[in-house]
Structure 1
């Protein structure tokens, strides 16, 4: 039999392990776990890597549901990110089971050619993407320091090679007033819920002047306990997004004035605190994204054009922080969810269906072949290695 080329070899390796990968995807999907509590999902994902010879280190960066599994010793260190957290009340409506299984598939396939291509393959279990910023915490702890490039994929309703995302920050806003009987002596009270009302009216008016890409959405998490008591405490949470970190900082400042307005108008004290690490915008590596687009077309997929890529921000992700530090990609691989999009119940159901299984296998193939092409293209290999050396110096 003729010897397979490296791209052919990784594709064959993924197909050879198809059963294991689909089983992993379905198993994670069947037992959804929330951010920082993905104990079963983490164990399942790293177990498959260990079975194929990866050296697994638990809890890198002090995160109990993270792991780092390594194979090979080449100078080109490739990080493959596996997410596996689910959404409250919706389960895997963002398809992170597909992310985990495709990441394992790509990592195992790349391990088969690691010696030939001078690779070190690092499969990273990255918890708490939906809330908590697991990758940000891992970056801060140095878990990514030795990695040259990072790759992962995400399921969605469309195929998007150079997917982008919005920068994000989230805050809790607390107002402190004074209780009073709502009928006997309301004038003795200071109504903390009124402060929320004023702030939300101010935010609603601000929306007309928000810059393109800026948005804000929030919920009231504490609005009083009894209707006959002027509430002395109230709390809300707000998420702010923008096209990039600079625009997000501008929005945060204007939102802070809206929060202050509630306090000034009612006489309440107030406190604003960040509830999770900020997410930066995705900045996909252009060469790697173009290569992944070629692989999509080779697989018979139809990725959206570059004009639509720029018009389709897909929420926010802590992978954006990773792409600010090193070359990386976060493409979207389409599944058939009957018109549903991520964070909808129908998408959760579709995330364990036939098109999701196809996304696991084809996604792993496309990620692995993209990395192989990077490793076999001298100019691009030298480029990413030089960038890594600059980061280290």
Structure 2
């Protein structure tokens, strides 16, 4: 370990208690996408305490987005912090760890940014679980000037990368016409029947989906009483695929299935995108290697992911800048999005992941800034 990295390791002890307190504070007050008012305010407060940090809370159309910059070097490295939670199960995806690890990396690097001749940027990115906060931030220019981007996600294994699928979500509603189910059923238009036809079509269509394509969803409500023809039926649906081109094809399949319900019953269909499409990940191999080597110094043996699954708006960032999204194991935690994973996210495994995320990213930035070939590659775009 070179001298500068050793200084960062030594400096972590000075900020550890504050980072873990911040992680636990987020964990105790989960907020869902675009509603992270407390989380983003707490993050901005922590960032303002970092010497030399230039902090903005609220970016463009996103009041719960945060930006902080430190240093003034030409090489700009952006560290992403997520802090939205899941409805009903809180931080069962460990975003409290992501935010605290990003804060730790930024804090460590802010003290050496001028020495490294870099600008280190932290972007607090709302609504990763649904809503595509990073996609919106890309569109409104918050990532402009970035040469490399990174974040670290907790999980069930130590991985150099994640292999997320491209993804798109839709709100679906049928509007029919109510009537007495016994006396005048012929005067009704049954929205629940339309949904049933669509569900049947989706079930049959799955046999013909291309490799990597997925369809899943839920019915949120249909009808009000058994003796009333249901005039409304609604749900949320998602499609996933290996890449955006395949995603557009499976989206067409989903749309046809719901159109079939409308044609069969005469109900009116509303088929509305709920999120901007999430892309597939394009990880930067050299940056992944550097993070792997730095994680080894922390006692972790990261290996490449070999299974596709899940989705993240960080993948859209990877289509614009060299990007990494490694995963850190929490130990004996159950799969992510499980209530017990939320508990583990504030336990010893979660606390260790905060440390290893912060130091792993900080030391990787040191490598990128001090290796002439890597520095030139990133600056050249």
- Normalization by structure 2: what TM-score? 0.97
Given candidates 47, 68, 85, the residue that maps to 1:49 is 47
Measured in 1, the distance between the counterparts of 2:23 and 2:200 equals 44
Given candidates 344, 352, 359, the residue that maps to 1:358 is 352
Measured in 2, the distance between the counterparts of 1:297 and 1:4 equals 14
1:380 counterpart residue number: 374
* Secondary structure of the structure 1 residue equivalent to 2:60: helix
1:211 counterpart residue number: 210
> Which stretch of the first structure deviates more once superposed, 77-86 or 287-296?
287-296
1:318 correspondence with 2:313? yes
Is the 1:66–1:125 contact (alpha carbons within 8 Å) kept by the matching residues of 2?
yes
| Residue pairs, 1:172-183, within 5 angstroms | 172-183=171-182
1:5 counterpart residue number: 3
2:191 counterpart residue number: 192
1:340 correspondence with 2:334? yes
* Secondary structure of the structure 2 residue equivalent to 1:163: coil
Once the two structures are superposed, what CA deviation does each residue of 1:90-143 show, in whole Å capped at 9, x if it has no partner? 011110000000001001111121111111011111111112111111111011
| Residue pairs, 1:48-127, within 5 angstroms | 48-53=46-51, 54-127=53-126
| Runs of 4+ with >3 A deviation | none
1:232 counterpart residue number: 231
* Secondary structure of the structure 2 residue equivalent to 1:48: helix
Once the two structures are superposed, what CA deviation does each residue of 1:229-284 show, in whole Å capped at 9, x if it has no partner? 11122112101111111111110011111111111111222121101111111211
Deviation at 1:339, TM superposition (A): 4.5
Is the 2:40–2:57 contact (alpha carbons within 8 Å) kept by the matching residues of 1?
no
Measured in 1, the distance between the counterparts of 2:167 and 2:278 equals 5
Measured in 1, the distance between the counterparts of 2:49 and 2:111 equals 14
Deviation at 1:10, TM superposition (A): 2.3
2:12 counterpart residue number: 14
2:128 counterpart residue number: 129
Measured in 1, the distance between the counterparts of 2:249 and 2:2 equals 53
1:330 correspondence with 2:320? no
**Structure 1 vs Structure 2 CA RMSD:** 1.4
* Secondary structure of the structure 2 residue equivalent to 1:310: coil
> Which stretch of the first structure deviates more once superposed, 92-101 or 9-18?
9-18
Is the 1:162–1:290 contact (alpha carbons within 8 Å) kept by the matching residues of 2?
no
Measured in 1, the distance between the counterparts of 2:217 and 2:234 equals 11
Measured in 2, the distance between the counterparts of 1:293 and 1:209 equals 39
Would the alpha carbon gap of residues 298 and 4 (structure 1) be closer, same or farther in structure 2, given more than 3 Å must change? closer
Is the 2:333–2:344 contact (alpha carbons within 8 Å) kept by the matching residues of 1?
no
Deviation at 1:4, TM superposition (A): 6.7
Is the 1:15–1:361 contact (alpha carbons within 8 Å) kept by the matching residues of 2?
no
1:157 counterpart residue number: 156
- Normalization by structure 1: what TM-score? 0.94
